[in-house]
Amino acid sequence: MLTVGTLVPSMLGASIIGVMTSRALPTGAALGDPTALRTNVIASAVYCAVVVPMAALWGLWCTTSRSNASPAQRHTLLTRIPACLTAGGAAVWTGAVVLLVVVNLTRPWLATTLGVATLSGATVTATLTYWWCTRVLRPLVAPVLTEDPPVRQQRLGLRMRALAAWVVGTGVPLSMVLLAAASALVVDYPGNRLAVVVLGLGGAALLSGLAVTLFTGATMADPIDEVRAGMSRVGRGDYDVTVPVFDASELGLLQAGFNSMAEGLRERERLRDLFGRQVGRDVARLAEAEGAPAMGGATHDVAVMFVDLVGSTRMATKMSPPDLVALLNDFFALVVDIVERHRGWINKFQGDAVLAIFGAPQAVGDHAGVALAAARELSDALSERNLQLAAGIGVSAGPAVAGNVGDLRRYEYTVIGDPVNEAARLSEFAKSEGGIAASGAALRAATASEADRWRVVTSQVLRGRDTPTDIAIPAASS
């Protein structure tokens, strides 16, 4: 494909120049001289015989890497191929311009006309070669530049590309029209022939301008379309997106910038997910909304469920640490699943115990009722599942302070208040009295539909407290 991209434009340019000089421009009469024609044909043939093999060797050198080349060297070679091949083709055509001018120095008008025509062909050929090579190599260059994106513009920018498009599509055809018109002022040039030339060149300008405009538009639109599609995916919350980087122009920098942005969003989302897993998603959202952290908290009506394993100390002496951790993780996974389904928040894991809050940081309707329902479901699940675990579950409700506790250098969001202490003491009671216990305050705060599922069985002064606590268990328990 690269060979086609270098040969076809050159052959096409040579053919157009041949037609122009023999039929359109006022060089036909001059070339009608056998001596002039023979001199130009021989010079052109010798030049092609010498230069074409050299150009072929140059092309091979531009597109071939050493067997021991590093990946970075191969990547560098790959990105330089379009400019390298274009430079070789431009050198060949520039040499042809010099040759034709020198050979025809005794015929100034012929030398000028051939030189200008050949130089125009060189401009078009070089531009088409560069465009073709960059398009052909795009599938190979894109992975390289995507992996190692450019940090500054390394190729012809959009302004130069627009200028080149104007030169190829408009400038060169119109310059040939101007050359024909100027020739009519200097040499004998029939009017009807001039009209045909102008019509032909004008039509060629229209077609070439349309083709170049479409090609240039597609070249510029493709990267923008990729970025637009990537932004659409990001807008839908899909941050795992990378657009291919086609080149090192402003468009390539745009694509690379989008990839950097998407990578930053992925990293932010990963950190947000990790943060949410560490402190709870409600707390994470609250921290993001608040911005700068504020120490202290606010009073909330909450329900607290404290879950403490029975016999964990004994298990630690009989089980290996990995087995004990695996068992605890199964237990914690069950607790987290039930608490989150009842709109609760796991405040912390304390060794083999879990503290769950209902009503903070986000308010929950019937916070006491959902906490009691979660406690009943957890107790039933521990009985039904083959985890070989027992736990004391305590539930309490009342006002507590929820907020950031600690120091600005190290703090955590937590809940402090009497319901937390009461739930912990109730879990101690529950370990020896059926596995689940709730305070009378929790029942009074719950709706009747949930409170009716419980019954008060005793009133005791729990450890560390001064007043008795009404203790309830599920009504179905004996």
Each residue of 146-192: pLDDT tens digit? 777 777 766 667 777 777 777 777 777 777 777 777 777 766 666 67
CA nearest to 330, candidates 393, 387, 377: 387
Look at 113 and 230; give whichever has higher pLDDT: 230
At 317, the amino acid letter reads: T
Confidence of residue 282 (pLDDT cuts 50, 70, 90): low
Residue 325: the pLDDT is 85
Confidence of residue 478 (pLDDT cuts 50, 70, 90): very low
Residue 342: the pLDDT is 92
H-type alpha helices, 148-247: 158-166, 172-186, 191-235
Residue 384: the pLDDT is 79
CA distances from 424 to 126, 415, 463 (A): 82, 13, 10
The structural domains of the chain, with segments of one domain joined by +, span: 2-234, 293-474
**DSSP for residue 352:** T
% helix, strand, coil for the chain, step of 5: 65, 15, 20
**For range 471-478, the mean pLDDT:** 78
pTM to 2 decimals?
Answer: 0.57
Q: What is the pLDDT of residues 314-366, one digit of tens each?
A: 777 788 888 888 888 888 889 999 998 998 888 888 888 999 999 888 888 89
**For range 279-300, the mean pLDDT:** 66
Q: What is the pLDDT of residues 224-242, one digit of tens each?
A: 888 888 888 888 888 888 8
Domain 293-474 has CATH 3.40.50.620: no
**For range 80-96, the mean pLDDT:** 87
Residue 280: the pLDDT is 60
